[in-house]
C-alpha cells in the first residue's frame, strides 16, 4: 500500500471515533477502539467518559488524534477568506491550529484541560496563536454576531442539547458568517461503521437543518469515508451541513 494511501485510511479511521468526544461533555458511556485506527466489533467496550476520564486519556499518549485538520473542515473552510472562528469541542485543536495557520483569529473550546494543554503545545510548535478556553459547551457563550465561522466536528449529544447549542451558535455568527457541522449520521449504525451506536446521539441532515435558526442552508447531505476495520475497509456515513447567516 502506498504511504499516502495508508496515511489517508488511518486518518479516516480516527475520524470514525472522533465523535466519541460527546462523552467529554456528557459523562455518558462511549465506545472506545481497542487500537487507534481500527474498529473491532468483538472487543470494543463501554466505559463512562467524564472530563476526568478524558483528561486521563489525553495525558496517556503523545497524540490522540491526527495533527491534520478534518478533511471536511479543510474542504469547507479552505475556500473561505480568513476571519474570526470558533472550533467547538476542539480536543487537541487540530482544526483550530490549521485555521490559525491560514490567518484566522480562532478560539478553541473544550472541557478537557489535558486536551487544551496539548493544543497549546501543538499551536506553539506550529507557530500560531489560538485562544483556548476550557468550558462546557452546554453553557458556553460567545458575543453575538462576532464570528465568521463556527465549526462542530463530530460532536454528539442528545437532540435537545445539540439543538440548544446550535441555536446559540447561530446567534454568534456575524452577517455572512458560516456554521459548519460534520458528524456521524444515524444511518451509519446500520449501513456504515464506527461511531456511537446510540441512535438518539446521531443525526441526519434534515434534523440539523431544523435546528438552525434563520440561516441559509448551503449544504445538507450525507458524505462518506473509507475506514479500516478487522474485516477490511468499510464505508462510514457522516452528516455534513453548512449554513450561512444573511449578509
Q: Cα–Cα distance between 229 and 43 in angstroms, integer?
A: 12
The C-alpha torsion from 212 through 213 and 218 to 221, rounded to 10°, is 20
Q: What is the DSSP string of 169-223?
A: HHHHEEEEEEEEEEEE-TTHHHHS-SS---GGG---HHHHHHH-SS-EEEEEEEE
What are 218-247's pLDDT values in tens digits? Answer: 999 999 999 888 889 999 999 999 999 998
Residues near 35 by beta carbon (within 8 Å), at least 6 away in sequence: none
Residues near 79 by beta carbon (within 8 Å), at least 6 away in sequence: none
Q: How far is CA 164 from the centre of its chain?
A: 17
Whether residue 209 has pLDDT greater than 50 = yes
- 83 close to 148: Cβ distance less than 8 angstroms: yes
- 173 close to 145: Cβ distance less than 8 angstroms: yes
Domains of the chain, CATH where assigned: 3-244 (3.40.50.150)
Handedness of CA 73, 212, 88, 141 (dihedral sign): positive
- Please report the pLDDT score of residue 83 as a whole number: 98
Whether residue 206 has pLDDT greater than 60 = yes
Whether residue 92 has pLDDT greater than 80 = yes
For 236, the grid coordinates are 462510514
Q: Count of alpha carbons within 13 Å of 203, Cβ hemisphere only?
A: 29
Whether residue 199 has pLDDT greater than 60 = yes
Whether residue 155 has pLDDT greater than 50 = yes
Q: Count of alpha carbons within 13 Å of 6, Cβ hemisphere only?
A: 3
- Please report the pLDDT score of residue 71 as a whole number: 94
Whether residue 1 has pLDDT greater than 60 = no
- Please report the pLDDT score of residue 229 as a whole number: 87
- Please report the pLDDT score of residue 120 as a whole number: 96
Whether residue 181 has pLDDT greater than 90 = yes
Rounded (10°) angle between helices 113-126 and 51-59: 40
What are 38-84's pLDDT values in tens digits? Answer: 333 332 333 334 555 455 555 566 654 567 999 999 999 999 999 99
- Please report the pLDDT score of residue 41 as a whole number: 34
Please give the share of the chain, as a percent, with pLDDT higher than 70: 73
pTM: 0.80
- Please report the pLDDT score of residue 99 as a whole number: 98
Query: Mean per-residue pLDDT for 159-181?
Result: 97
- Please report the pLDDT score of residue 36 as a whole number: 29
Amino acid at each position: 500500500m502506498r504511504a499516502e494511501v495508508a496515511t489517508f485510511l488511518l486518518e479516516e479511521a480516527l475520524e470514525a471515533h472522533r465523535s466519541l468526544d460527546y462523552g467529554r461533555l456528557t459523562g455518558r458511556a462511549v465506545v472506545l477502539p481497542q487500537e487507534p485506527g481500527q474498529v473491532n466489533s468483538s472487543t470494543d467496550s463501554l466505559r463512562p467518559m467524564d472530563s476526568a476520564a478524558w483528561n486521563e486519556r489525553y495525558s496517556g499518549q503523545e497524540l490522540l488524534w491526527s495533527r491534520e485538520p478534518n478533511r471536511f473542515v479543510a474542504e469547507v473552510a479552505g475556500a473561505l477568506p480568513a476571519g474570526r472562528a470558533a472550533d467547538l469541542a476542539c480536543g487537541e485543536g487540530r482544526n483550530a491550529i490549521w485555521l490559525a495557520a491560514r490567518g484566522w483569529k480562532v478560539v478553541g473550546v473544550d472541557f478537557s484541560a489535558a486536551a487544551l494543554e496539548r493544543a497549546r503545545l501543538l499551536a506553539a510548535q506550529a507557530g500560531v496563536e489560538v485562544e483556548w478556553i476550557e468550558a462546557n459547551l452546554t453553557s458556553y457563550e460567545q458575543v453575538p454576531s462576532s464570528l465568521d465561522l463556527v465549526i462542530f466536528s463530530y460532536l454528539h449529544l442528545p437532540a435537545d442539547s445539540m439543538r440548544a447549542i446550535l441555536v446559540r451558535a447561530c446567534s454568534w455568527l456575524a452577517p455572512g458568517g458560516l456554521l459548519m457541522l460534520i458528524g456521524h449520521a444515524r444511518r451509519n449504525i446500520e449501513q456504515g461503521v464506527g461511531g456511537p451506536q446510540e441512535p438518539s446521539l446521531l443525526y441526519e441532515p434534515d434534523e440539523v437543518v431544523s435546528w438552525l435558526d434563520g440561516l441559509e442552508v448551503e449544504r445538507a447531505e450525507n458524505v462518506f469515508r473509507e475506514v479500516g476495520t478487522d474485516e477490511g475497509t468499510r464505508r462510514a456515513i457522516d452528516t455534513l451541513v453548512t449554513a450561512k447567516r444573511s449578509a
